[in-house]
């Protein structure tokens, strides 16, 4: 039986050429796998037909947009995950769901190898291969660009020689990856980190310099999950899409950052994540009134480590599962409404309410009705500062000798 290789297929030039390139280099049959994670653009059927036209013996296509929102975006939201405090893991969280379908397709079609289109200097090669090794430890991995010397020039020449049904003449100066959680742009003139991004690189967001009138929105959560926008019930996917539209119109969610790649390279990235950043902002503000102080402080540390693990391709790792369990426990009381104003590139919270809030008006107020016993403060301060006071006395005593 001829060996079969499953290929993560985007429908673009490189992965279209990779179908025939892999076949010629290995003698194997190629099954193209396309996964919709809300990236928009061409239909799955169009992509499927292109894969077959480029020589794939089978084409597996999956609409995973709801799955992606529910099982990958929502956990990211619950963790308030921002890699290095900036990046909402746009590409990093899409790779595990694609890996899941790659392994499923490999089982379904009897493939022994999984291929992806990543280079040898990026993060995605790690995310794909570590995920594949974890879910399908018997499967092998290859990367045509990295392992089979498939350069872009060779890809264009191969496509023209074979008459493949793919556009080969226009070269976008940027590398772009997008899904419903956001959009990532890199390379080209952006690699000079002094260059400011130009307006043409943005698609999910309008320029914030000349915004429309302020847009006030109320986001409702149940146990950390967005369930309504302005009182209208929504699924997580619908919530992300609606806030992509409304926050994007106000220029919210533009991120320009130099980040530390897993392979040791610093890389300049431009992100657009209007829905993600609006939701993370709202979710964090709701946590501020519903999560106990020490638990909240520790959760911030857990969220940072969670983001690092996911960025580094460890979605399926034991530590990630353990952190998931902690984060999920913290969300028990994260239920309520957040009101925010979207305007001029900012999402500013101006109202909070929750039946499970820890905010006690009678304890917090300075007006009549204050129930806080201020006489407790003096003794508390004495005890709180006791260890520092004793240490300071020791320092003075020793210094005087």
Q: Is 259 annotated as a binding residue?
A: yes
Q: Is 267 annotated as a binding residue?
A: no
Q: Is 196 annotated as a binding residue?
A: no
Instruction: Judge contact between 248 and 254, C-beta under 8 A.
Output: no
Cα–Cα–Cα angle for 18, 19, 20, rounded to 5 degrees: 95
Q: Is 119 annotated as a binding residue?
A: yes
Q: Is 138 annotated as a binding residue?
A: no
Q: Is 271 annotated as a binding residue?
A: yes
- Give the CA count within 13 Å in the CB-facing half-sphere of 145: 19
Catalytic residues: 14, 95, 124, 175
Q: Is 175 annotated as a binding residue?
A: yes
Residue 267 pairs in a beta bridge with: 259
Q: 10 Å Cβ neighbour count for 179?
A: 26
SS3 258: strand
Residue 6 pairs in a beta bridge with: 31, 114
Q: Is 87 annotated as a binding residue?
A: yes
Q: Is 300 annotated as a binding residue?
A: no
Relative orientation angle of helices 293-311 and 274-290, to the nearest 10 degrees: 150
Q: Is 366 annotated as a binding residue?
A: no
Q: Are strands 266-272 and 254-260 parallel, antiparallel or unpaired?
A: antiparallel
Largest CA distance in the chain: 89
Distances (CA, A) of 344 to 207, 208, 210, 248: 8, 5, 7, 10
Q: Is 397 annotated as a binding residue?
A: no
Backbone dihedral angles phi then psi of residue 139, each to the nearest 5 degrees: -85, 145
Q: Is 8 annotated as a binding residue?
A: yes
What does the alpha-carbon distance between residue 236 and residue 68 come to, in Å, rounded to a whole number? 10
- Give the CA count within 13 Å in the CB-facing half-sphere of 315: 28
Q: Is 80 annotated as a binding residue?
A: no
Q: Is 11 annotated as a binding residue?
A: yes
Of how many residues is the chain composed? 401
Q: Is 275 annotated as a binding residue?
A: no
Instruction: Judge contact between 331 and 224, C-beta under 8 A.
Output: yes
What does the alpha-carbon distance between residue 30 and residue 56 come to, in Å, rounded to a whole number? 5
Instruction: Judge contact between 251 and 161, C-beta under 8 A.
Output: no
Q: Is 127 annotated as a binding residue?
A: yes
Q: Is 244 annotated as a binding residue?
A: no
Q: Is 330 annotated as a binding residue?
A: no
Backbone dihedral angles phi then psi of residue 18, each to the nearest 5 degrees: -60, -30
Of 309, 317, 307, the C-alpha closest to 280 is: 307
Which residues lie closer than 8 Å to 308 by C-beta, 6 or more apart?
Answer: 83
Q: Which residues are annotated as a binding site?
A: 8-16, 87, 117, 119, 123-124, 127, 175, 259, 271
Q: Which residues are annotated as a binding site for L-aspartate?
A: 119, 123-124
Q: Which residues are annotated as a binding site for L-citrulline?
A: 87, 123, 127, 175, 259, 271
Q: Which residues are annotated as a binding site for ATP?
A: 8-16, 117
């Amino acid at each position: 039986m001829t060996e079969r290789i499953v290929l993560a297929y985007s429908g673009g030039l490189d992965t279209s050429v990779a179908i025939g390139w892999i076949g010629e280099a290995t003698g194997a049959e190629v099954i193209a796998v396309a996964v919709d994670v809300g990236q928009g653009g061409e239909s799955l059927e169009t992509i499927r037909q292109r894969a077959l036209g480029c020589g794939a013996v089978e084409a597996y296509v999956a609409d995973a947009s709801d799955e992606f929102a529910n099982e990958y975006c929502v956990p990211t939201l619950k963790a308030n995950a921002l890699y290095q405090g900036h990046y909402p893991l746009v590409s990093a969280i899409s790779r595990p769901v694609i890996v899941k379908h790659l392994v499923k397709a490999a089982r379904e079609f009897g493939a022994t190898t999984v291929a992806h289109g990543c280079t040898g200097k990026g993060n995605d090669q790690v995310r794909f291969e570590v995920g594949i090794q974890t879910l399908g430890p018997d499967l092998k991995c290859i990367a045509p660009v990295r392992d089979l010397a498939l350069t872009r020039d060779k890809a264009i020449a191969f496509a023209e020689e074979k008459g493949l049904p793919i556009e080969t003449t226009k070269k976008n100066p940027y590398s772009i990856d997008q899904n419903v959680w956001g959009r990532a742009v890199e390379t080209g003139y952006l690699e000079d980190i002094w260059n400011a991004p130009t307006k043409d690189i943005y698609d999910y967001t309008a320029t914030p310099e000349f915004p429309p009138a302020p847009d006030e929105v109320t986001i409702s959560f149940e146990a950390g999950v967005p369930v309504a926008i302005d009182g209208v019930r929504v699924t997580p996917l619908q919530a992300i899409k609606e806030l992509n539209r409304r926050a994007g119109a106000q220029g919210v969610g533009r991120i320009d950052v130099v980040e530390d790649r897993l392979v040791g390279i610093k890389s300049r990235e431009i992100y657009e994540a209007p829905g993600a950043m609006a939701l993370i902002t709202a979710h964090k503000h709701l946590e501020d009134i519903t999560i106990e102080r020490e638990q909240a402080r520790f959760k911030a540390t857990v969220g940072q480590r969670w983001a690092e693990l996911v960025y580094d391709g460890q979605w399926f790792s034991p530590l990630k599962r353990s952190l998931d369990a902690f984060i999920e426990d913290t969300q028990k009381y994260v239920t309520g409404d957040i009101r925010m104003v979207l305007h001029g590139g900012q999402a500013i919270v101006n109202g909070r309410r929750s039946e499970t809030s820890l905010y006690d008006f009678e304890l917090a107020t300075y007006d009549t009705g204050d129930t806080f016993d201020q006489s407790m403060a003096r003794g508390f301060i004495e005890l709180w500062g006791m260890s520092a006071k004793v240490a300071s006395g020791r320092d003075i005593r020793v210094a005087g000798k």
